[in-house]
Structure 1
Amino acid sequence: MKKVFKNFIVVAFVAAVLQYAWEYWQCGIFYSMDANTQQSSLMLSATFGDVNMTVILYFLLSFVNKDFNWIIKRWESKEYIIMNLYALFLSFYFEVHALYTGRWGYSEAMPFFLNTNIGLIPVIQLIILFPVTFFISKIILIKFGNTSN
């Protein structure tokens, strides 16, 4: 049970750092909002949501692999397929919902996903950061001795 908790903490921490960095980079460029008040709260809220999505994905992949230590083993194509489908579904869902409810809007700099009004940058964010988060977490976990089941 200690390894599950250790994996969870490492994945959550790495996700928080990477997701916050991405949100900070993209927020001012690709979204239209009040730069002082709305941007800060939106970045923190989005980062918290992104970390939750990453942790849920870790547990989903643990369930699929029947192993909480799947992260330190050699990944198969199913892990990448699940990560990408999960990223596409969630990014589209949250972007559509946020745009529909007026939570945020895009600036003129935002490129769009093929024939939609969905921003390409948040879709790319999850497609890139899910596997990168797990890869960096894998390196940290291996380095600190989490190599057995």
Structure 2
Amino acid sequence: MKNFIKNVVVVAVVAFILQLIWEYVQCDIFYTMDESTNHTRLMFSATFGDMMMSVVLYGLLAFVNKDVNWILKKWNRHDYIITTLYALFLSFYFEISALYNNRWGYNEETMPLFPNTNIALVPVIQLIVLFPIIFIISRKILRRLNK
């Protein structure tokens, strides 16, 4: 249990930092928001959600691998498949939900979309790219902490 909590805390901190950086970099370039939107609150809300998705993915992979320390080991093919499908599902779900609820919109001049959809490519890439990077950095930190 101690290792699980330590792993979750490290994954959460790394995820929060990387997701916050990504959210701030992409926001002004690719998204549009009306002036009533509290930009800082929206960025932290999105970042917290991204962090929680990372933590849940860690837990899911710990369950599938039956090992809370799977993060310290070499990934199996199923780890990549689960991570990719999880990223695709969640990114599509949250983008569709946010657009439907007018939480944000896309800058039509700069945001690339998936063909024949109104779903942006950048947030999908965000999760597909950042989940593995979060786990790689977390692995390095956890290995140092375990020395």
Mapped contact 1:88–1:123 kept (Cα < 8 A): yes
Cα distance in 2 for partners of 1:41, 1:33 equals 13
Taking structure 1 as the reference length, what is the TM-score of the superposition? 0.94
Gaps of 5+ in 1: none
- Flag as ranges the 4+ runs of structure 1 deviating above 3 A: 34-37
| Residue 18 of structure 1: aligned partner | 18
Q: 1:127 to 1:56 in 2, by over 3 A?
A: same
| Residue 91 of structure 1: aligned partner | 91
Mapped contact 1:28–1:39 kept (Cα < 8 A): no
The range that moved more, 99-108 or 85-94, is 99-108
- Give the CA deviation at 1:36: 8.4
Cα distance in 2 for partners of 1:138, 1:45 equals 26
Provide the identity percentage: 62
| Residue 82 of structure 1: aligned partner | 82
Q: Is 1:121 the counterpart of 2:122 in the alignment?
A: yes
The range that moved more, 44-53 or 32-41, is 32-41
Q: Is 1:142 the counterpart of 2:143 in the alignment?
A: yes
| Residue 55 of structure 1: aligned partner | 55
| Residue 72 of structure 2: aligned partner | 72
Q: How many residues align?
A: 146
Kindly report which structure 2 residues correspond to 1:5-44, keeping only aligned pairs within 5 A, or say none: 5-34=5-34, 37-44=37-44
Cα distance in 2 for partners of 1:64, 1:41 equals 34
Residue type of the alignment partner of 2:20: Y
Cα distance in 1 for partners of 2:49, 2:64 equals 22
Task: Give the CA RMSD over aligned residues.
Answer: 1.3
Cα distance in 1 for partners of 2:29, 2:36 equals 14
Q: 1:102 to 1:37 in 2, by over 3 A?
A: closer
Write the deviation string for residues 65-112 of structure 1: whole angstroms up to 9, x where unpaired. 000000001111110110000000000000001101111100121100
Q: Match of 2:68, SS?
A: coil
Mapped contact 1:27–1:39 kept (Cα < 8 A): no
Gaps of 5+ in 2: none
Taking structure 2 as the reference length, what is the TM-score of the superposition? 0.95
Cα distance in 2 for partners of 1:133, 1:65 equals 18
